[in-house]
Amino acid sequence: MASGRNHGFHIPNPHIREMEQDVLYHIALETKSHDLPAMFGNVKFVCVGGSPNRMKHLADYLQEQLHVEIPAGMTLCNLGKGKARYAMYKVGPVLCVSHGMGVPSLSILLHELFKLLFHAKCKDVTIIRVGTSGGIGLDPGTVVVTEEALNTFLEPYYTQVILGKETKKPSVLDRGLAEAILGCSSPKDNFKTVLGKTMCANDFYEEQARLDGAVCTFTEKEKMDYLHELYAAGVRNIEMEAVAFAAMCHRVNIKGAVVCVTLVNRLKGDQVTATNEIMREYQRRPQRIVGRYIRQQLGLD
């Protein structure tokens, strides 16, 4: 089996070296029965996002934008169909994969995705989370490119308990990548794209200061004071994966970025009330920005 340090990024796990085969259980791939370098060796960009449908839409959109040929009568297929926990679509050099909701689901996927890239001998890969979030002081539909991912103590760390001990891993995103993605917005867009800090919570309701969960222990004033405090600290959106995403990318030395559309302005309310049509339009916005970035990187613009 290959060594743990290779291919521009590294897998800081000496045990991988000793394994005869590696079963990437949740993405239904394995080193013995799949030729991973042949299947995935040309991957340069990985886009991840919460929902399988959104990732399918992104894959279809990128297929068109990147002029990736698909044989007549065929459509993009979900590589994990039937067996995997996550939906995965490959569009030329781009892999689009769903990660579910929250850090635990994302972290399982990233372990297996990073090992996949390693086993496939991919080089110079960039990974982008293309997602949704709640905005603070922004019009719904605004796209936020994360400049720093923070935990709910507003610290740039991902906290994990390993062998019963608390560990803090720095959440580091690539600043140059964030700025390059921000630079792909256009004054002609019918929405704004901004750079801002992103707070990552482990819950959609109480941890995100919502009054509308099944349980709530704080007042409206306490909620508003807290959200204003977040705004003053530079936080422009809240979601549920950024801090682990940033820390895990940093540990394997892969450039990562987080690009999320805001579905609601939390200074004005808690409920996500946009119609299905508006929601679909909002969700396409970060996809358009990221699509432009990938086109530019591939020399298509």
Query: Which residue, among 79, 48, 3, has the nearest Cα to 246 in the 3D structure?
Result: 48
By the rule CB under 6 A, 136 interacts with ligand URA: no
Q: Burial of 7 by CB count in 10 Å (0-12 exposed, 13-18 middle, 19+ buried)? A: middle
Q: Which residues contact 36 (CB under 8 A, 6 or more apart)?
A: 29, 116, 119, 120
- Please state, in angstroms and rounded to a whole number, the distance separating the CA atoms of residues 109 and 22: 15
Q: Phi, psi (5° rounding) for residue 296?
A: -60, -45
Ligand-binding annotation for 132, yes or no, is yes
Number of chain residues interacting with ligand R2B (CB under 6 A): 9
Question: Is residue 132 involved in binding ligand R2B (CB under 6 A)?
Answer: yes
What is the DSSP pairing of strand 45-49 with strand 126-135?
parallel
Site for ligand R2B in 94-113 (CB under 6 A): 101
| 131 binds ligand R2B per the rule CB under 6 A | yes
- Residue 230 interacting with ligand URA (CB under 6 A): no
Give 22 or 239: the residue with its C-beta nearer to ligand R2B.
Answer: 239
How many residues sit close enough to ligand URA to count as binding (CB under 6 A)?
A: 11
296 in a labelled binding site: no
Q: Is 251 annotated as a binding residue?
A: no
State the amino acid at position 56 in one-letter form: K
Residue 50 vs 286, nearer CB to ligand R2B: 50
Closer residue to ligand URA, CB minimum distance, 47 or 263: 263
Q: Which residues are annotated as a binding site?
A: 85, 129-132, 208, 210
Q: Which residues are annotated as a binding site for phosphate?
A: 85, 129-132
